[in-house]
Amino acid sequence: MFQGYYDLTSNMITQNRNLNVVSNNMTNVSTPGYKMDRIMQSTFRDEMIYRYDRDGKTAVGMVSRMNIADERVTDYTEGGIRETGDALDVGLTGNGFFVIDTGEGPVYTRDGSFNLDNEGYLTLPGIGRVQGTNGAIRLTTDNIIIDKQGNIFSEEGNQFFGTLQIVDFADYGQLTKISGSVFRANAQPQAADGGTTVTQRYLEDSNVSMAEEMTRMISSQRILQSSAQILKIYDQLEAKMVTIGSAT
């Protein structure tokens, strides 16, 4: 019976964490450049479980193959890009991230829904200033052209404002999601490869599938309900065992 308790409890913890992740994915389905998360499960090796009291410890059973929610991992698959018509919107196709200076260090994102602050700097609202290859990019107009390499010109072509800095990482495991589609890095970035394309007036959608997330949510809810019912049965059986033991 102890095995059943531990299995059910660990499974319920896993499903609760999975529901939290699914809920966050669904919340960010419309966030440009958002990358969905998943819960990875691992399995404990066999372990002897002991009961401790003032007389020492007593072996009460074995726990084997207990599943736990091990870690949250991010799926970096590209989302589709869609046209917005806004000259300051930029979508990436291929590997890479925009660099944003928060004032407390750089962060990285594929969300290209940029704007201008009151000093004319290109910004990701609420996060910081968009970085070019030579620092923050300051515009004197929002009538701009951004080419496939990320070079920014005035619409007339007589002014050059800078080039968007696009970077990538050898190991995405070094990235930590801090909010929505924004990441911090525990490793130095490198220049994105030549296959990365910048597209003005477009944004990359999230890679979340609402249909898949709904399926995952319903599955986790059903497992939780079933587990709760089984735990209730275990409690009733244990109560009967105690009653029988007291009567003998």
Q: If we measure between CA atoms, which residue out of 196, 207, 201, 206 comes closest to residue 83?
A: 201
Q: If we measure between CA atoms, which residue out of 217, 119, 118, 130 comes closest to residue 182?
A: 130
Q: What is the pLDDT of residue 54?
A: 60
Q: What is the pLDDT of residue 241?
A: 61
Beta partners for 204? 81
Q: pLDDT tens track of the chain, all 248 residues?
A: 445 556 666 777 778 888 999 999 999 999 999 999 998 766 555 455 555 566 665 665 555 555 555 578 999 999 999 999 999 999 999 999 999 999 999 999 999 999 999 999 999 999 999 999 999 999 999 899 999 999 999 999 889 999 999 999 999 999 999 999 999 999 999 999 888 999 999 999 999 999 999 998 898 888 778 776 766 766 666 666 666 656 55
Q: C-alpha distances in angstroms, 91 versus 141, 146, 222, 228, 241?
A: 20, 11, 38, 45, 64
Any idea where the domains of the chain sit in the sequence?
Answer: 2-76+210-247, 81-204
d(CA 101, CA 117): 13
Q: Which residues contact 55 (CB under 8 A, 6 or more apart)?
A: none
